[in-house]
């Protein structure tokens, strides 16, 4: 089982702004929220490939 499981928690599309994606990270007993812009998320995915 992975130490860190990430799920797409919610996606907001705000008019005239970049799409923001919230990643819900569950690491042990900790729950952390992190907001990614579309560009940041694309870079994160590319770095994991």
What secondary structure does DSSP assign to 21-39, as a single string?
EEEEEEETTEEEEEEEEHH
Residue of higher predicted confidence among 45 and 11: 45
Average of pLDDT values for 3-13? 48
Mean pLDDT of 9-17: 48
What is the tens place of the pLDDT at every residue in 22-41?
A: 566 666 776 666 777 777 77
| Cα–Cα distance for residue pair 31/41, rounded to 1 Å | 19
pLDDT at 14: 52
- pLDDT top residue among 44 and 27: 44
**Selected residue with higher pLDDT from 6 and 45:** 45
């Amino acid at each position: 089982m992975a130490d860190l499981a990430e799920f797409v928690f919610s996606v907001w599309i705000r008019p005239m702004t970049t799409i923001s994606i919230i990643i819900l990270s569950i690491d042990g007993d900790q729950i952390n929220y992190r907001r990614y812009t579309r560009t940041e998320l694309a870079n994160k995915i590319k770095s994991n490939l």
